[in-house]
Chains A and B, each alone.
Chain A
Amino acid sequence: MNYQVDDNGFYGRFGGAYVPEMLYPNVEELRQNYLTIMAEPDFQEELQALLKDYVGRPTPLYFAKRLSEKYNTNIYLKREDLNHTGAHKINNTIGQILLAKRLGKTRIIAETGAGQHGVATATVCALMNLECIVYMGEVDVERQAPNVARMKMLGATVVPATSGSKTLKDATNEAIRDWINNPEDTYYIIGSVVGPHPYPDMVARFQAVISEEMKSQLLEKTGSENPDYIVACVGGGSNAAGAFYHYLDTPEVKLVAAEAAGLGIDSGESAATSVLGKEGIIHGSRTLLMQTEDGQVTEPYSISAGLDYPGVGPLHAHLHQSGRAIFESITDEEALQAVLELTRLEGIIPALETAHALAAIGRLGAKPDEVVVINLSGRGDKDLATYLDRFNFDGK
């Protein structure tokens, strides 16, 4: 089985570039140039220097002793939460902004849900002195006020998306419409492994640094590059794509994708695309998609704004369909319990998205001599309001 994108932009039957003609030249320009530019020595030199000194890579691979004792196995945390801006998102925005500069673009647009990708984009735009416009659903603008403030402080213009359900999918629609209206000078930094080809492949390549580092770190700590399990949360799926990337062709490493079940798979309030989705087209990509019988895209629900997406990247749709990855659905409640567990056992407050991966540990059946890597994709600062609201800390 091949897990890399093919010449036409497909992973198995998923992927492609289902875009209106207005977007064709933009997407085609990127498709023709991304691999060449990414392979240029001066691009790599600039990227590696920024990843090291600005982002703070390599991120540690930390042996979580107390968590391991609790589950009677060996758990390592890949600390993407220690990156600048607090999540893995910046691995991708750094890469794409360098690409945008080399394509001569002067105006940057992005979509954001919880605001992490928006902040990571606003950050690199400040660094590179480029104009930055971030589309964010009106509903998310209200519930993620601290990240809106960060973006504005970084000099970005935050435009509330008022169409449709006013969340991530609509912010993405608005960003795409902006790109249609500004085809010459504008570069669209997509935040996940979604959208038309070449975005899923390009974003996966920029996030692949996660599994590249994991390999050498595991070799040093365990004597083998290969763990038994890698677990990552999946909304669009960029941190999972990065954590899985260099292990896709190593079948003895089990890949586990944790999706948001929201209030439960059958509750009608869920974002578990692998269970509830059917093949369809969203944002230019053929993938699994939550939709009505008539093909209208439905609004997902999760307590985590970062997993609240009705589709999933085409690579993940392929990993699901081929059986290469195991998909676990985690409810809001299970994710919240996992937040508290990691906080109290290891002194690390994870993001709500990441907590879905942590909540899957108990379902693995990992043995005492096995090695589990959890991709700790982001830190929980942005979710403190939710945590304070949900947990009763009085008297503890």
Chain B
Amino acid sequence: MENRIQQLFAQKPKGLLSVYFTAGFPSLEDTVPIILELEKNGVDLIEIGMPFSDPLADGPTIQQSSEVAIRNSMTIPKLFEQLKDIRQHTQIPLVLMGYLNPVMQYGVERFLQKASELGIDGLILPDLPLSDYVREYKALFEQNGLSNIFLVTPQTPEQRIREIDTHTNGFIYMVSSASVTGSTTEQSVSNTAYFERVNGMGLRNPGIIGFGIHNSETFTQACNHASGAIIGSAFIKALAKEGNLTENISTFIQSIRQNEIV
């Protein structure tokens, strides 16, 4: 059976907007309102960040939002409690993203069962090695109908990309350049040769580009080379602005989509 991620890509193969936010930021109880508001504004897929004290792959914006979220007492049990009725309100594909240690402490098997019960569609655990996934967890993910999303970078060798493609069944997260999240040093999505190399491989999974996508220009450029793009740090900065959550979200999403021909 297809999960919501697979259905989404089948229905809408181009121009997908995926948004990441850190659960528990800016306030503890903002999780569900942010999800519903993102859906209302036409976002296609949502990545809910589970905060971790030591997020190795993240730049300052996501680090700071994670610190605030942890101070606000966000935990995995708390997040699950907030999401318990989410599928009564929205059918947007939901992915949980976080680091392995908090998931390990919760119990990986218990975590996957619970996520599946709540209607979560996929997971991104950047520090879960492919080899461990295949050896210990792949069967459990599949039993629970969860896609495990892997990252590839401009440095990932072709053979490894193929291996990742074999073991995932949602999408491939193409990291735009060698950087942690939130880098805006490059004003354009310029790594064209890398995207075309991956696109030319005939992979079975679609790709989405993330890291450094922060405005309508970079979003549009990324969409030219993949099924869509992921925005995280820039959205978190928008959430942190003065004003109310609803307005901040709609202003930001409209600014991203402004170049699109509807």
Contact B129 A294 (CB under 8 A): no
Contact B156 A280 (CB under 8 A): no
* Residues of chain B within 8 A of A294, CB atoms compared: 75-77, 102, 105-106
- Residue from the list A17, A25, A181, A283 in contact with B129, Cβ < 8 A: A17
A17 to B129, CA, bound (A): 7
One of B55-63, B81-89, B213-221 contacting the partner: B55-63
Contact A180 B52 (CB under 8 A): no
Interface band, chain B: 35 or more
* Residues of chain B within 8 A of A220, CB atoms compared: none
- Least CB distance from B55 to A in Å reads 8
- Least CB distance from B29 to A in Å reads 18
- Mark out the residues of chain B between 129 and 177 whose CB falls within 8 Å of any chain A CB in the assembled complex: 129, 131-132, 150-153, 155-157, 160, 175
A128 to B202, CA, bound (A): 46
| B39 at the binding interface (Cβ < 8 Å) | no
* Residues of chain B within 8 A of A22, CB atoms compared: 57, 151, 153, 155, 175, 178-180
Contact B127 A284 (CB under 8 A): yes
| B54 at the binding interface (Cβ < 8 Å) | yes
- Residue from the list A21, A169, A180, A296 in contact with B70, Cβ < 8 A: A296
A20 to B62, CA, bound (A): 16
A278 to B106, CA, bound (A): 13
> Known: A20-B126, A180-B180, A281-B127. Contact between A296 and B59, CB under 8 A?
no
| B128 at the binding interface (Cβ < 8 Å) | yes
| B28 at the binding interface (Cβ < 8 Å) | no
Contact B180 A177 (CB under 8 A): yes
- Least CB distance from A24 to B in Å reads 7
Interface string of A45-61 (1 = CB under 8 A from B): 00000000000000000
Judged by DSSP, the binding face of A is: mixed
* Residues of chain B within 8 A of A293, CB atoms compared: 105
* Residues of chain A within 8 A of B104, CB atoms compared: 279-281, 295
| A173 at the binding interface (Cβ < 8 Å) | yes
> Known: A181-B179, A295-B102. Contact between A21 and B56, CB under 8 A?
no
Contact A24 B156 (CB under 8 A): yes
| B43 at the binding interface (Cβ < 8 Å) | no
- Least CB distance from B112 to A in Å reads 16
Contact A20 B57 (CB under 8 A): yes
A24 to B153, CA, bound (A): 10
- Least CB distance from A282 to B in Å reads 7
Which residue of A has the minimal Cβ distance to B127? A18
| A182 at the binding interface (Cβ < 8 Å) | yes
Contact B126 A21 (CB under 8 A): yes
> Known: A17-B129, A164-B67, A295-B104. Contact between A181 and B156, CB under 8 A?
no
| A303 at the binding interface (Cβ < 8 Å) | no
- B interface residues with partner A (beta carbon < 8 Å): 52-57, 59-60, 63, 67, 70, 75-77, 99-106, 126-129, 131-132, 150-153, 155-157, 160, 175, 178-180, 183
List 9 additional contacts besides A24-B160, A181-B180, A297-B53; criterion CB under 8 Å: A20-B57, A21-B153, A22-B153, A22-B180, A24-B156, A164-B63, A280-B101, A283-B56, A296-B102
Pairs across A and B, CB under 8 Å, 5 listed: A18-B132, A25-B155, A177-B56, A295-B105, A297-B54
- A interface residues with partner B (beta carbon < 8 Å): 8, 16-25, 163-164, 169-170, 173, 176-177, 180-184, 278-284, 289, 291, 293-297
